[in-house]
Homo-oligomer: A and B are copies of this chain.
Amino acid sequence: MVLKLDDVSPQVRSTEYAVRGPIVARAAELERAGREIIYCNIGNPQSLGQRPITWVRQVLALSEYPELLERVPAGTFPDDVVETARLIAARSKHGLGVYTESKGYRFVREAVADFITERDGLAADPEAIYLTDGASKAVQSVLRMLISGPRDGILIPLPQYPLYSATIALYEGTAVPYELDEASDWGLSLATLEASYASAVARGVRPRAVVVINPGNPTGAVLDEANVEAVLRFARAHGLAVLADEVYQDNVYRQGARFHSFAKVMARLGLADVSLFSFHSTSKGYLGECGHRGGYVECRNVPEDVQAELTKLQSVALCANTAGQIVLFLQVRPPRPGGPSRALWEQERREVLELLARKAGIVERGLNAVPGIHCQPVAGAMYAFPRITLPPGVTDVGYCMALLEETGICVVDGSGFGQAAGTWHLRTTILPPLEQIEALVRRLGEFHARFTARGGAR
């Protein structure tokens, strides 16, 4: 008797993950059949022409194959690349083929702690930092600790990144959505948080934690300091842990907007009684090293015995992959000022971030020029989440599928992220190459006009 779909646990079957769901599967099918597809479904910058940072790849190559140094002429690699590769060889002891500590290399955790100190002016404890296969795995581990069953509620934004809803479903917890306010640039309001909390409690759910994604995915919003402070006070008032998804912290484009880390605001408020888990990644920012699966979670105000449980959880699959740990190291410890690699690193970094900022503007303006599409400012992250006005009887899923079939543009429907009842959205990345993105926005506009004119029908 072979396994049947009914044999698969309901936890798995009820899990949904739209970013790689049916629309994307159909796109892959069309591509195999010879169609040109523009993938705007996922924040995967290097798949759309963004180049790796030279510093990262030079050190990584030397770390994978240290004997290389003896086989190439002196000067093949800049001195600071060679020194850093030697440092990694010395500190990792036996190179990248060895399981690291469950938490990850101690020297990388020290470098992450220094990075946090430099960013926020705060002391950071390397023992409270866990290196993971991308931030996703860190989020999953923390949620695994917090959820014991359907009574446990996790407050998540609506719209949200579906990693959260999927993971909560997988561990049989209860997602408690709090609506972001589209009208005020997808801002977060204390009143909405309180209302969500109260309604969850009224349903017998015990909220355990609140998730905030800042800069926002899919919204592109960047929270101001007052917003961050409000979340922390709210969490404190109700005894909630805070999960701060800060993987887009380097992706802030809008004039006047700034990234405010939860750790820094918490320290300024002097809160020692809120447990904070802050996530970061090698996949976004200016690195875009998605494939290497590097990331970390920093715990604050989390007692040692609770951290020990997280360590145990990490230990079951032994450790995060070493190449990803090294990429993270090179992210938080860039070439020193004055060193031979510094100028190129600065140039590459600036080019990536400036280009992303330009594209954010093009997408935002282009979408807003289409009658029936309205897009809030793309202040940060890598996405636009415009509202779309659809003919009656049509869903955003149908719209996105038709968009794909007619134009080859692959975006994800708003339903995959959650949206206020009666509204429709789509999420598109801002990542396609500059020369494509204007055409892309234009084609989307033309499609929208056609689709609306025919009432959604073929």
Q: Which A residues form the contact surface with B (CB < 8 A)? A: 1-5, 7-13, 15-17, 19-20, 28, 42, 44, 46-47, 52, 54, 57-58, 60-62, 64-65, 67-68, 71-73, 76, 93-102, 133-134, 136-137, 140, 144-149, 152, 163, 166-167, 170-171, 208, 236, 239, 241, 272-275, 283, 288-293, 301-303, 305-306, 309, 312-313, 315-324
Distance in angstroms between the alpha carbons of A136 and B145 in the assembled complex: 19
Contact of A60 among B11, B16, B65, B293 (CB under 8 A): B65
- CB-CB nearest in chain B for A48: B94
A3-B303, A316-B17 are contacts. A65–B76 as well, Cβ < 8 Å?
A: no
Distance in angstroms between the alpha carbons of A57 and B96 in the assembled complex: 10
A15-B316, A321-B323 are contacts. A99–B290 as well, Cβ < 8 Å?
A: yes
The quantity of this chain's copies bound in the complex is 2
Whether A61 and B52, one on each chain, are in contact in the complex, defined by CB atoms closer than 8 angstroms, is no
Whether B8 and A303, one on each chain, are in contact in the complex, defined by CB atoms closer than 8 angstroms, is no
CB distance from A36 to the nearest CB of B (A): 14
Question: What are 7 inter-chain pairs, A to B, with CB distance below 8 A?
Answer: A1-B236, A15-B312, A20-B102, A47-B94, A58-B65, A72-B73, A99-B291
Instruction: Pick from A134, A152, A290, A291 the residue with the most CB of B within 10 Å.
Output: A291
A60-B65, A144-B9 are contacts. A44–B98 as well, Cβ < 8 Å?
A: yes
Q: Please name all residues of chain B whose beta carbon is closer than 8 Å to the beta carbon of A293 when the two chains form the complex.
A: 133, 318-322
Q: Please name all residues of chain B whose beta carbon is closer than 8 Å to the beta carbon of A28 when the two chains form the complex.
A: 101
CB distance from A309 to the nearest CB of B (A): 5
CB distance from A51 to the nearest CB of B (A): 9
- CB-CB nearest in chain B for A236: B1
Distance in angstroms between the alpha carbons of A133 and B208 in the assembled complex: 30
A273-B1, A323-B323 are contacts. A291–B76 as well, Cβ < 8 Å?
A: no
Whether A12 and B95, one on each chain, are in contact in the complex, defined by CB atoms closer than 8 angstroms, is no
Instruction: Pick from A7, A67, A136 the residue with the most CB of B within 10 Å.
Output: A7
Q: Please name all residues of chain B whose beta carbon is closer than 8 Å to the beta carbon of A292 when the two chains form the complex.
A: 96-97, 321-323
Give 15 A-B pairs besides A17-B312, A46-B95, A60-B65 with Cβ atoms closer than 8 angstroms.
A3-B241, A3-B306, A47-B94, A57-B64, A72-B72, A72-B73, A96-B291, A97-B291, A133-B321, A136-B316, A163-B316, A163-B317, A170-B313, A293-B318, A293-B322
Distance in angstroms between the alpha carbons of A306 and B8 in the assembled complex: 7
Whether B290 and A97, one on each chain, are in contact in the complex, defined by CB atoms closer than 8 angstroms, is yes
Q: Please name all residues of chain B whose beta carbon is closer than 8 Å to the beta carbon of A239 when the two chains form the complex.
A: 1
Q: Please name all residues of chain B whose beta carbon is closer than 8 Å to the beta carbon of A149 when the two chains form the complex.
A: 9
Distance in angstroms between the alpha carbons of A134 and B324 in the assembled complex: 14
Contact of A136 among B42, B306, B317 (CB under 8 A): B317
CB distance from A18 to the nearest CB of B (A): 10
Distance in angstroms between the alpha carbons of A57 and B71 in the assembled complex: 14
Q: Please name all residues of chain B whose beta carbon is closer than 8 Å to the beta carbon of A324 when the two chains form the complex.
A: 321, 323
Q: Please name all residues of chain B whose beta carbon is closer than 8 Å to the beta carbon of A96 when the two chains form the complex.
A: 291-292
Q: Please name all residues of chain B whose beta carbon is closer than 8 Å to the beta carbon of A95 when the two chains form the complex.
A: 46, 52, 291
CB distance from A440 to the nearest CB of B (A): 18
Instruction: Pick from A44, A272, A273, A323 the residue with the most CB of B within 10 Å.
Output: A323
Whether A301 and B2, one on each chain, are in contact in the complex, defined by CB atoms closer than 8 angstroms, is yes
CB distance from A110 to the nearest CB of B (A): 14
Q: Please name all residues of chain B whose beta carbon is closer than 8 Å to the beta carbon of A64 when the two chains form the complex.
A: 57, 60-61, 64, 323
Q: Please name all residues of chain B whose beta carbon is closer than 8 Å to the beta carbon of A20 when the two chains form the complex.
A: 102, 312, 315, 318
Distance in angstroms between the alpha carbons of A42 and B319 in the assembled complex: 13
Distance in angstroms between the alpha carbons of A136 and B44 in the assembled complex: 26
Whether B94 and A10, one on each chain, are in contact in the complex, defined by CB atoms closer than 8 angstroms, is no
Q: Please name all residues of chain B whose beta carbon is closer than 8 Å to the beta carbon of A4 when the two chains form the complex.
A: 303, 306
Q: Please name all residues of chain B whose beta carbon is closer than 8 Å to the beta carbon of A52 when the two chains form the complex.
A: 95, 97
Whether B134 and A317, one on each chain, are in contact in the complex, defined by CB atoms closer than 8 angstroms, is yes
Distance in angstroms between the alpha carbons of A52 and B322 in the assembled complex: 14
